[in-house]
Structure 1
Amino acid sequence: MKEMKARTLISSLLSASLIMAAAACSDDAPKSSPYEWGNEGSVKTCDHILFNADGSENENGTVIGNGDQEFVFTGNQTLKKGVYELKGWVYVGAGATLTIEPGTVIRGDKETQASLIIEPGGKLYAEGTATEPIVFTSEQPKGQRKPGDWGGLVICGKARNNQGVLNQQIEGGPRTKHGGTDDSDNSGVLRYVRVEFAGYPFQKNKEINGVTFGSVGSGTTVDHVQVSYCNDDSYERFGGSVNCRYLVAYNGWDDEFDTDNGFSGKVQFCLSIRDPRIADTSQSNGFESDNCADGALTEPFTSAVFSNVTFIGPLGRDANFTNDASYINGGSYNPNNGSALGKFQAAMQIRRSSRLNCFNSVAVGYPIGLIIDGEKGGTVESAKNGQIGLQNVWFAGMGITGSDANKVYEDVLYDARNKAVIDANQESYSSTFFKAQSGNRVMPDIASLLLSDPRHIGVSYLPTASSPLLNAASFTNPLLASWFEQVSYIGAFGTSDNWLDGWTNFDPQNTDY
């Protein structure tokens, strides 16, 4: 009897030990976190961002967003390296953080106009590497991709703009309003990132840009970003003070670097390359810069400072280019989505009271070099008062050096407000202004710049060893005193520092994603 009781006791102890061991093992095993849901009006919110294709919960899923047209992410999550599909307008809400690992590919859904929108107070850490960039691209198969296949990347913050605090809705349709008083606001990191085939036309003249910055502050890190085949502007900045380096705009539809509403950041080392058969009905430019839509003298002024930019315009790609509908037909990249084709206009259009500045840069092959547009606001007065700086800027192979008004392709003194020629025997004020600025030059042709080969893609656009662009830069202007890397050359490249290597892609149409 005693022996049986002993055996029973031992058996009970062993069972208890096994139960405790199993419990311990269970504690060590990975647990699935429950999805916490909420609502902001009619829009669902959730602390998880990954789902299955049918919208069901799966923290290891491959779909970003639950499939609704609008969805707000409220948590803190890292996307492991892999391939994901972005569905709908996915907002990273205030207090939320989305981190994306190097080498990740995110394919935007066409049907839902997929877009990733970082709201003020939210953060995106998309930090790729030169060998493993992060790619946002079309979900369409290779050979079938078009501009506007998905929405785009939108980042909004709490820096100043000239429209007020959280008073300006971001362009393109999303709900997000941006702006604040903190010019050092931090929205995260965007580094070694490509954005391809974005710009879905939500409504007529309401496309989301490739990368849109709304009041993004200088605490945000942005460098090594390429936007290709966007259906609107490659980059647009509405207010804010974010500084950027190493940007590529490739074969966009409208403007390359659009600045508005008090953007005051610094930007260095940019390459812009145009497809000569793609231009927007509004007239495509390298720079398009406004203070605000009506030209009001509203502070803070758009006062961006660019240095070391290379613009390769349509004549820089094809010597047989003609600026008309017989040539500009979109080619194989016409998306037939309602986006109207038009003409190319200027390497630089400054208008509506903007006070943009550009130094140590080169532009080739546009119909017009510079437009200081006086139709609205005080742009011409700002230029005369020294509040617009264009120094050590070289033009080559332009149709004309300057024009004084939008859609006027003549280098004559022109009254933009009254739309009338003042004197057909005098060159435009824009041309006179440009030639009078320190270090500016108008070269007789593109060949005189001695670039590697500006007519072909896949080359570096580096100047050759005997190029006059070398040793021609100057950083003595007070606007360049801080933040800028002081280099000896004009344009985006010296003879050996090809910062395009490894992470860029000039043939995304034929890339396996």
Structure 2
Amino acid sequence: MPSFIHFRKFLMSAVIGLTVAACDGDSNTELASLGTVGPNPGAGGSSSGGSGGSGNSGGATANCETGLTQVTLSNGDEVCSISGVINADLTLSASNIYMLDGKVVVGENEAKDGTGGTNAVLTIPAGTKIIGKETPTSGVTSYLVVTRGSRLEATGTATQPIVFTSEQDHLRGRTSPIALNETETGEWGGLVVNGLATINKGTDCELAANVCEREGEGDSGLYGGNDDTDNSGTFKYMQVRYAGYAFTADNELNGIAFQGVGSGTTIEYVHVHNGADDGIEFFGGTANAKYIVVTGADDDSIDWTNGYRGYIQYAIVMQNANQANTDQGIEADSNSSDNDALPRARPVLSNVTLVGARPAESDIGILLREGTGAGIYNSVVSNFEHCWDIDGTATYTNSTTATGVTLKSVLFDCDASFKADTDAGEDDTAAGTGLAAKFAAGANNVEQASTLSNGFINGNNENSVTSVNVNTEETLTWFEFATYIGAVKSSSATDNWTLNWTYGINPTPACPTGTTAIGTTGCELTGVITDDMNLVSGLSYFLRGKVVIGADCGPDKDNELSTCDKAELTIDPGVSVYARENPLSYLVIARGSKLNSNGTASAPVTFTVEDDESRNLDSDTGLWGGLVINGRAPINKGTNCEVLTNLCERDGEGDSGKYGGNDAADDSGQIYYTVVKYAGFAFTADNELNGIAFEGVGSGTEVDYVQVHNGADDGIEFFGGTVNAKHLVVTGADDDSIDWTNGYVGNIQYAIVVQNGANQGNTDQGIEADSNSSNNDALPRAYPSLSNLTLVGSFPAATGAESDIGILLREGTGANIYNTVVVGFQDGIDIDGAATYANRDSGTTGINLKSVFIDTDTAFGDDTNAGENDTAAGFDLPTWFAAEDGNNDSTTSNSLTTLSGATTGQKRYINGAVENGIADTDPTALGAFFEDAGFVGAVQSSDNWTSGWTVWLND
């Protein structure tokens, strides 16, 4: 049979009709899952989120359509060879493997006005594999071209992606990809799609006629025309691997080239891996694309030129350090010959994550040049030499026009954010044109550290950036309003749109070294762990007994113990860590080591007890030991507590190791969006584990969005140290909800306490605060600052709850407490102890309560013990409280509501009209940590930061 199929249209139509009938009669039509053995020998890809290689071990059989040639590869696989021109509709079968032999062309080219030519549609079903022949019968490489007026209908699924790859890749027979730094690239020519949409470079480019056309690179045919809604088919759930070919330096094939492609084309869920020259390039046109992944491009990852004006949302770029030519994340031109040619390139992009491969070349994250405009929104640029560059006088001149350059809600984290060119017309630092000034002028743009996990999944820093509505910004309707920046919000299955169909970016999870596998989905941690460990999503993790991260480094940051052995435990978004009940299990972070708990709002990290699903959220408590984090920030109680040497250290309760030291800025890691359930354990009355114990933890540690639910003894306790925290939730604590002692001097903003008195019989103070129980005047005196708290008790006693005091300050502590709501306790505020009273009005470490609203059974505790008479002359607590700015202990009832808006019930913590009517006090005078919220209490109804990640509170 001849190797070229170039039949007359009517003859091919008849043949194809017979072929389809034959295929319809095939009893073997069920597709096997990718990566498994089954009746789909040609399938590649992955059924587990990116583990899939072709998995072909030889011996696949073929039942080729009439007009195709059956060929046997060197591994014994039979494939159906396609060559020449397909000038009639052709539907492939997922039961076969297909091989492109040389340049394969779909259809015969229409004219630029859409007339003439011979149209054809190549239909590729889900799960089909097409390989490019390494040594084609004719020409130097194999590739597929779709001509103007013809279509490629390639519609895969999330579990059955269509795979375009090389013969070499197929013969390698990988059942899973190696790491994303593999070196193979440019093993076949790739895909070229030619359309009839407008371009701005070529021949006959008179603007009035608007029928510019141009020869594509790589002898790929003419593209361009006058139909911006042109439809070149469907490209959905598709991989293109190891493609691209350089004929010369200026004549190159890419992974995929969309040349003059129109907006009627569907491009969604497309992954180009290790493509050369570029990953995906748009040569003019108006094609739109969603859910794009480009990994390992040998030059630029996403490129546009010749007047491209499409839209792109949700795109990931990850560069490969082993691709020596890896260059820009985005390289963008309008027209290299005439920078002001019309239509000017000005695409709009949103939710793009660009990750370079420094210290490899990885030049510029976003390079805009040769007259292009661009609207770039809600995006992340990380790990390039420079994040952004604008080149060329025309680009600068146009950058402030309606077709210019806009960046909003973009995070930069590169070696340098901006490239400062000094060529003529490219002075990025000149007044009025400076990149830094332009970036700073864009709403919500930030330069800060990236916290991406798995290379592309948002962490806390990305999710803390406010997104913008692109449709509003650009007066469009095409974009979805994503409430986050970057391409992927979290690792959860609902957020991670890359799962199952991509190649290699979601590796199959495995138990980390140092753990013990439990079945196929569990890993157990035991003993002392002195190597860095990452708990990835997709597995369950178990603590057995006391698990310690690192070996203690001692109190002196400059003279660490000889036995010091630092380690970091990093936990990915969405991971759950389960503690065994027997033996009692808990997690300790030793001094010098770190816990990085990287939850997100949609995929929090959860610490709980084994068999969590069978536990009772209302009543279960104290089922495991909880978290203990030991740092070497200063404390005021222990051994070696001479103030001058400041090397005070102390043994933590529950045999949790030593804490304290001389580094106020000590860094014990980061805890974001983390929920701790059912923790705490009492060995004796004075030796107890809590939900979370921060022991001598320093201000270098980041704590934000943390909930402790049904913790015993206390919810969260700070044993000295300087750690700061925002967005704390403590629900159902069996004793005190927030506790500090031993000289704690950190800051807290936005904290909710809701007691669960009906089920926790020992529930006590909302805040219980000491400085030092043995020496009330020990230094450093406890003196934290707190703002925007809502403390909700369970009083009256008819509920079975103690709910003693909302805020109890004693044993010498000082405190600044601003913008706080205290309701539902027996007493609102109590100050105990002669030392506490004596220090109360100290200008530097005293007690300041401002804009505090109290609605409790009794506003103030009235002790009669020696030194604790709150109503004695000179110690009149009500009078002192009333004299502080903005405080309110009137008979007005609170108006707190639940998430559903109910004004009754225990779980009321959201401000109502009463709370919102109280004048607040600006806390920023207390330090740069604080922001001026503009309200009292923790939550305004318009911005409920507890939604989506907490438990029990909003049930």
Partner Cα distance (2:458, 2:67) in 1: 45
Displacement of 1:437 in angstroms is 1.6
Alignment of 1:79-478 (within 5 A): 79-81=92-94, 82-93=96-107, 94-112=118-136, 113-140=141-168, 141-142=171-172, 146-163=184-201, 164=205, 165=211, 167-174=213-220, 176-280=221-325, 284-315=327-358, 321=359, 323=360, 343-374=361-392, 378-385=394-401, 387-396=404-413, 398-405=414-421, 414-417=422-425, 429-443=434-448, 445-446=449-450, 450-454=451-455, 461-464=456-459, 466-470=460-464, 472-475=466-469, 477-478=472-473
Displacement of 1:149 in angstroms is 0.6
Partner Cα distance (2:468, 2:315) in 1: 17
1:9 is matched with which residue?
none
Matched, 1:76 2:71: no
The counterpart of 1:479, out of the listed 474, 477, 481, is: 474
Partner Cα distance (2:320, 2:356) in 1: 8
1:505 is matched with which residue?
503
Displacement of 1:385 in angstroms is 3.3
Displacement of 1:151 in angstroms is 0.2
2:735 is matched with which residue?
none
Which letter does structure 2 place at the counterpart of 1:186?
A: N
1:245 alignment partner, SS class = strand
Whether the 8 Å contact between 1:267 and 1:307 is mirrored in structure 2 is yes
Displacement of 1:357 in angstroms is 1.6
Partner Cα distance (1:145, 1:403) in 2: 29
Displacement of 1:150 in angstroms is 0.3
Displacement of 1:347 in angstroms is 0.3
Q: Closer, same or farther in 2 for the Cα pair 1:421/1:185, shift >3 Å?
A: closer
Partner Cα distance (2:183, 2:387) in 1: 32
1:433 alignment partner, SS class = helix
Q: Closer, same or farther in 2 for the Cα pair 1:371/1:72, shift >3 Å?
A: same
Q: CA-to-partner distance for each residue in 1:242-275, whole Å, 9 max, x for gaps?
A: 1100000001111111011111111000010011
Partner Cα distance (2:165, 2:355) in 1: 24
Which residues of structure 2 form unaligned runs of 5+? 10-14, 17-65, 73-77, 108-117, 175-181, 206-210, 508-955
Q: Closer, same or farther in 2 for the Cα pair 1:438/1:422, shift >3 Å?
A: closer
Partner Cα distance (1:79, 1:422) in 2: 55
Q: CA-to-partner distance for each residue in 1:37-87, whole Å, 9 max, x for gaps?
A: 369xxxxxx987622349xxxxx971111xxxxx22101110000211111
Greater Rg by CA:
2
Partner Cα distance (2:372, 2:409) in 1: 20
Whether the 8 Å contact between 1:151 and 1:199 is mirrored in structure 2 is yes
Partner Cα distance (1:234, 1:153) in 2: 11
1:438 alignment partner, SS class = coil
Partner Cα distance (1:395, 1:420) in 2: 20
Displacement of 1:479 in angstroms is 1.6
Partner Cα distance (2:428, 2:481) in 1: 42
Whether the 8 Å contact between 1:196 and 1:228 is mirrored in structure 2 is yes
Which letter does structure 2 place at the counterpart of 1:451?
A: L
Displacement of 1:166 in angstroms is 5.9
Q: CA-to-partner distance for each residue in 1:320-360, whole Å, 9 max, x for gaps?
A: x2x5xxxxxxxxxxxxxxxxxxx331100000000122100
Matched, 1:490 2:485: yes
Partner Cα distance (1:247, 1:197) in 2: 16
Q: So what's the TM-score if we normalise by structure 2?
A: 0.41
Displacement of 1:507 in angstroms is 7.4
Number of corresponding residues: 407
Whether the 8 Å contact between 1:392 and 1:439 is mirrored in structure 2 is yes
Q: CA-to-partner distance for each residue in 1:359-405, whole Å, 9 max, x for gaps?
A: 0000101001111102xx51001123352111111101x12111254
2:889 is matched with which residue?
none
Q: Closer, same or farther in 2 for the Cα pair 1:202/1:53, shift >3 Å?
A: farther
Q: Closer, same or farther in 2 for the Cα pair 1:480/1:503, shift >3 Å?
A: farther
Q: Closer, same or farther in 2 for the Cα pair 1:202/1:154, shift >3 Å?
A: same
- Over 4 Å off, 4+ runs: 46-49, 419-423
Partner Cα distance (2:238, 2:428) in 1: 46
Superposed CA RMSD in Å reads 2.8
Partner Cα distance (2:427, 2:375) in 1: 28
Whether the 8 Å contact between 1:415 and 1:421 is mirrored in structure 2 is no
Displacement of 1:278 in angstroms is 1.9
2:530 is matched with which residue?
none
Q: Closer, same or farther in 2 for the Cα pair 1:36/1:198, shift >3 Å?
A: closer
Alignment of 1:41-80 (within 5 A): 50-53=68-71, 62-65=80-83, 71-80=84-93
Whether the 8 Å contact between 1:470 and 1:488 is mirrored in structure 2 is no
Whether the 8 Å contact between 1:463 and 1:470 is mirrored in structure 2 is no
Percent same amino acid at aligned positions?
Answer: 32
2:781 is matched with which residue?
none
Which letter does structure 2 place at the counterpart of 1:106?
A: I
Partner Cα distance (2:499, 2:454) in 1: 17
Q: Closer, same or farther in 2 for the Cα pair 1:499/1:149, shift >3 Å?
A: same
Q: CA-to-partner distance for each residue in 1:131-188, whole Å, 9 max, x for gaps?
A: 10000001113279821110000111101111243621112332x1111111111111
Displacement of 1:429 in angstroms is 1.9
Which residues of structure 1 form unaligned runs of 5+? 1-34, 40-45, 55-59, 66-70, 316-320, 324-342, 406-413, 455-460
Q: Closer, same or farther in 2 for the Cα pair 1:240/1:422, shift >3 Å?
A: closer
Which letter does structure 1 place at the counterpart of 2:463?
A: L
2:405 alignment partner, SS class = coil
Partner Cα distance (1:404, 1:471) in 2: 26
Partner Cα distance (1:36, 1:107) in 2: 21
Whether the 8 Å contact between 1:373 and 1:404 is mirrored in structure 2 is no
Q: So what's the TM-score if we normalise by structure 1?
A: 0.74
Whether the 8 Å contact between 1:246 and 1:268 is mirrored in structure 2 is yes
Displacement of 1:192 in angstroms is 0.3
Partner Cα distance (2:268, 2:92) in 1: 20
Q: Closer, same or farther in 2 for the Cα pair 1:36/1:203, shift >3 Å?
A: closer
Whether the 8 Å contact between 1:403 and 1:429 is mirrored in structure 2 is no
Partner Cα distance (2:273, 2:328) in 1: 16
Alignment of 1:7-22 (within 5 A): none
Which letter does structure 2 place at the counterpart of 1:235?
A: I
Whether the 8 Å contact between 2:199 and 2:212 is mirrored in structure 1 is no
Displacement of 1:296 in angstroms is 2.6
Partner Cα distance (1:399, 1:100) in 2: 43
Q: CA-to-partner distance for each residue in 1:59-117, whole Å, 9 max, x for gaps?
A: x971111xxxxx22101110000211111101111411100011111111122311000
Q: Closer, same or farther in 2 for the Cα pair 1:36/1:108, shift >3 Å?
A: closer
Whether the 8 Å contact between 1:402 and 1:428 is mirrored in structure 2 is no
